[in-house]
Amino acid sequence: MERAWRVIPLSVAAFALAFIGWMIRMLQLAWIRNDSWGFTVTVASVVIPVFLVYLWLALYVLWGIAREGREPGGEGQP
């Protein structure tokens, strides 16, 4: 079960990074094709910060799990 708690934040972080990369690629394609640039920028300006927050949260949880796991008797302490 401990391994799952390490994999979940990493998978959330990987998903957030992949989605941010995909949005940046959509911005590039919209710029190259001169296609619905305003809509793409609007969506990206909302989506990218939201997923950056998800990424920060996932890494924060992962760091807390990793730090707590190294302490003797760290599990269950406030």
CA pair distance 23, 17, nearest whole angstrom: 10
Going from N- to C-terminal start, the domains of the chain cover: 2-70
Concatenating the DSSP letter of every residue in 38-56 gives HHHHHHHHHHHHHHHHHHH
Query: Which residue has 């619905």 as its token pair?
Result: 36
DSSP state of 72: T
Sequential pLDDT tens for the chain (78 residues): 667 767 877 888 888 888 889 888 988 888 898 887 778 788 888 888 888 888 888 788 777 877 776 556 555 555
The dihedral over CA atoms of 2, 6, 8, 10, expressed in degrees to the nearest 10, equals -170
Instruction: Look up the pTM and report it.
Output: 0.61
